[in-house]
């Protein structure tokens, strides 16, 4: 059984020669990925110390009667998280907004001290941007162009703008429970960088930069020929 004298000596010794402890960085999220939560805790056999201010992580802490030094690398990690200016919630820890989620995940997933929940691990971050894909259907007088966004592996398709959220100042967009690189703007003047269907006719087809004059004439002749063949069947 520990004696009061031993406890007093141990407390004094820890004040002069504090043992260094790592910070447990616990990551959680809601399934949609709209928010992630970070709870930072230092644990020892005497108890635990919860970090409540990322901008002022102490170099030394007291747990029970003993003093400990907080790992320098962990303090740097927490100070970096403070740059995203999260709010602190007593139940969930530090709350990070949707706009910052992909950068937070990319940063923390490289840290050995990270302990992520299954929900947090399921949120995917892809640096490769979504790409515009244009499906073209022609008739004798016009051309219909349907624009969608797809991931490079074609596993994700965005056919309506309501399926995607973009954020000012961020290089990512949020689709489902994942984040993808922001798509580059379409080069077609009439279509523009938008998802949806556009019907073009006459000079609009040429001004859209979708095809040259000669290409348009060839496309129109081929379309007329196909229509003529169908009418004879």
CA separation for the pair 95, 17 (Å, rounded): 35
Evaluated on CA atoms 85, 86, 89, 94, the torsion sign reads: negative
What is the per-residue pLDDT for 211? 46
HSE value, Cβ hemisphere, 13 Å, CA-based, for 2: 7
What pLDDT does residue 1 have? 45
What confidence score (pLDDT) does residue 19 get? 81
> What pLDDT shows up at residue 184?
77
Show pLDDT as tens, one digit a residue, over the chain (233 residues). Answer: 456 655 554 545 455 446 888 899 999 999 999 999 999 999 988 899 999 999 888 888 888 878 888 888 999 999 999 999 999 999 999 999 999 999 999 999 988 889 999 999 999 999 999 988 877 776 656 777 777 888 888 888 888 888 999 998 899 999 988 999 998 765 444 444 556 555 555 555 555 544 444 444 444 444 444 444 444 44
Q: What is the pLDDT of residue 20?
A: 84
What is the reported pLDDT for 147? 79
CA nearest to 130, candidates 176, 169, 98:
176
């Amino acid at each position: 059984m520990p004696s009061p004298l031993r406890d007093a000596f141990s407390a004094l010794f820890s004040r002069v020669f504090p043992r260094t402890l790592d910070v447990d960085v616990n990551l959680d999220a809601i399934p949609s990925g709209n928010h992630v939560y970070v709870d930072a805790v230092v644990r020892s056999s005497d108890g635990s110390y919860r970090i409540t201010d990322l901008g002022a992580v102490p170099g030394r802490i007291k747990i029970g009667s003993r003093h400990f030094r907080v790992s320098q690398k962990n303090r740097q990690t927490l100070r970096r998280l403070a740059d995203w200016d999260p709010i602190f919630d007593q139940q969930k820890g530090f709350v990070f907004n949707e706009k910052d989620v992909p950068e937070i995940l990319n940063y923390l997933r490289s840290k050995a001290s990270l302990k992520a929940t299954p929900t947090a691990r399921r949120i995917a971050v892809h640096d490769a941007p979504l790409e515009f894909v244009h499906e073209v259907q022609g008739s004798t007088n016009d051309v219909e162009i349907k624009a969608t966004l797809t991931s490079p592996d074609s596993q994700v398709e965005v056919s309506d703008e309501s399926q995607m959220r973009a954020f000012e100042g961020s290089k990512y967009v949020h689709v489902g429970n994942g984040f993808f690189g922001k798509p580059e703007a379409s080069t077609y003047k009439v279509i523009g960088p938008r998802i949806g269907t556009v019907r073009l006719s006459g000079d609009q087809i040429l001004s859209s930069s979708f095809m040259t004059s000669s290409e348009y004439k060839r496309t129109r002749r081929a379309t007329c020929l196909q229509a003529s063949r169908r009418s004879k069947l």
